[in-house]
Chain A
Amino acid sequence: MQRKAVALISGGLDSLLAVRVMQEQGIYVEGINFFTGFCVEGHTHAIRKKDQKKPKRNNALWCAEQLGIKLHIIDIVEEYKDVVFNPKYGYGANLNPCLDCKIFMVKKAKEWMEAHDFDFIITGEVVGQRPKSQRKDTMPVVQRDSGIDDRLLRPLCARNLPPTLPEREGWVDREKLYDFSGRSRKPQMALARQFGFEDYAQPAGGCCFLTDEQYSLKLQDLWQARGEKRYEMDDIMLLKVGRHIRPAPEYKLIISREEGEGKFLQGYRKQYPSLKTTSHPGPLCLIDGDFAEEQIEQAARIVARYSQGKNADKVELEYRDTEGNTRQLKVTPLPPHELKKEWVV
């Protein structure tokens, strides 16, 4: 009887290898990729114009295609919020709740496994690879808290860990699994060569934006401004785009840095009031928050500063509310020394 495993596919090299190791042992594998909203995949590459020359690809889909497996992409945006807001095991260096995140994903994968009659779960985790979530002492925590227990196999480091059910039952041969550990990527790269994988993705920080310092600071700023931990999909998308400037606690400006971002922000003009320079080429700016009428001029002066009219006496802009009503403004661009450092998020 052919045993079936469901693999957590991040799009990185490790899960790619883990699946191939299982396939070598005759296991049937399908992949799951969870979309939290913070995934590095896709978005910003699609938004920023300068990246558009490179062919974009979704690495999880790419991995699945290399492996010849089905991939199920699952939207967990809503449920995942609780993981981000209240991580039982806390955050990593930034707002990344890695251990809670792993537990959550394995738990979701377990539900899928049971609903689809699969036998066990595999991940590309390696002992000691990540300081918080992939340590020898946290690995059993994932198993316990997710409820998956010994139906979770990590083919790349299994020989450093106690035998799991698939090993004990002889579904897989423990001797043919690996004993990788630590932060070195060399064993993985050697194995990739052996399997003939090229051109795989090697994300530097981690699999999501929550490991990014700048991004985490912007998210924290948002929570602070709102007085509570809360976000919507649009918020977390917009944190990836443009420069963010908060001239007053009540409101924030999101100013495009190049054409691609401008085009992207344009899609939000029905949800956020916006400013656009008309006398000179310049950015598009969304205004997020509650602001008073007299603050629009200040906002316009900041936006003008980022336009080609930054040295002009006056710059004209159009203010547009969410209903599409517009009005014209004529302002002096804010001189650089008046743009306070602490405004820049």
Chain B
Amino acid sequence: MAHETLDCRRLLCPMPVIRVQDRVAELQPGDELEAICTDPGVMQDIPAWCRINGHQVLEQKVEDDEYILRIRVGEPSP
């Protein structure tokens, strides 16, 4: 299972969501992706995007003004 990190610092929503979306499209179900962001909007938008598209948010936290979300890629829908 891949564990990847994605630097979304300084990007404003929805750019971090787009980056996550495009990266997730290249990953396999079960892989994990950690997105490091600076726009607080991601705390709403990335989980919403995950719910819609069937991915799981494993963790979301704030560290030194950075918003970090860990995602597990879900199964593709039929």
Interface residues of A (CB under 8 A from B): 33, 35, 39, 41-43, 45-47, 52, 55-58, 60-62, 64-65, 69-75, 237, 267
B69 to chain A, nearest CB (A): 14
Given contacts A58-B48, A72-B21, contact A267 B38 (CB under 8 A): yes
Question: With A and B bound together, what is the CA distance between A41 and B52 in angstroms?
Answer: 18
Contact among A33, A71, A75, A237 with B12 in the assembled complex (CB-CB below 8 Å): A237
Question: With A and B bound together, what is the CA distance between A243 and B71 in angstroms?
Answer: 38
Quick check: A43 and B13 within 8 Å, CB to CB? yes
A339 to chain B, nearest CB (A): 30
Contact among A35, A43, A56, A64 with B18 in the assembled complex (CB-CB below 8 Å): A35
B51-70 Cβ-contact flags toward A at 8 Å (1 or 0): 11100000000000000000
Contact among B38, B45, B53 with A42 in the assembled complex (CB-CB below 8 Å): B45
A55 proximity list for chain B (CB < 8 A) = 44
A61 proximity list for chain B (CB < 8 A) = 17, 45, 48-49, 52
Quick check: B15 and A35 within 8 Å, CB to CB? yes
Given contacts A56-B41, A72-B21, contact A42 B13 (CB under 8 A): yes
- How many residue-residue contacts, CB under 8 A, span A and B? 69
Quick check: B40 and A46 within 8 Å, CB to CB? yes
Question: With A and B bound together, what is the CA distance between A43 and B11 in angstroms?
Answer: 10
B3 proximity list for chain A (CB < 8 A) = none
Q: List 23 A-B contacts (CB under 8 A).
A: A41-B13, A41-B14, A42-B12, A42-B13, A43-B12, A47-B12, A56-B40, A56-B41, A57-B48, A58-B45, A61-B17, A61-B45, A61-B49, A65-B51, A70-B52, A70-B77, A71-B49, A72-B21, A73-B18, A73-B21, A74-B18, A237-B12, A267-B10
Chain A, Cβ-Cβ closest to B49: A61
Size bin of chain B's contact surface = 20 to 34
Question: With A and B bound together, what is the CA distance between A75 and B15 in angstroms?
Answer: 8
| 5 A-B pairs with least C-beta separation | A42-B13, A61-B48, A46-B41, A58-B45, A56-B41
Question: With A and B bound together, what is the CA distance between A43 and B10 in angstroms?
Answer: 12
B45 proximity list for chain A (CB < 8 A) = 42, 56-58, 61
B44 proximity list for chain A (CB < 8 A) = 55-58
Question: With A and B bound together, what is the CA distance between A60 and B48 in angstroms?
Answer: 10
B12 proximity list for chain A (CB < 8 A) = 42-43, 46-47, 237
B71 to chain A, nearest CB (A): 15
Quick check: B14 and A58 within 8 Å, CB to CB? yes
Question: With A and B bound together, what is the CA distance between A47 and B1 in angstroms?
Answer: 36
A45 to chain B, nearest CB (A): 7
B39 proximity list for chain A (CB < 8 A) = 42, 46
Contact among A43, A65, A69 with B48 in the assembled complex (CB-CB below 8 Å): A65
Given contacts A35-B15, A46-B12, contact A71 B38 (CB under 8 A): no
Contact among B14, B52, B53 with A35 in the assembled complex (CB-CB below 8 Å): B14
A64 proximity list for chain B (CB < 8 A) = 52
A70 proximity list for chain B (CB < 8 A) = 52-53, 77
A55 to chain B, nearest CB (A): 7
Chain B, Cβ-Cβ closest to A55: B44
Question: With A and B bound together, what is the CA distance between A75 and B10 in angstroms?
Answer: 16
Apart from A47-B12, A70-B77: 6 A-B pairs, beta carbons within 8 A: A33-B14, A42-B41, A58-B14, A70-B53, A71-B53, A74-B18
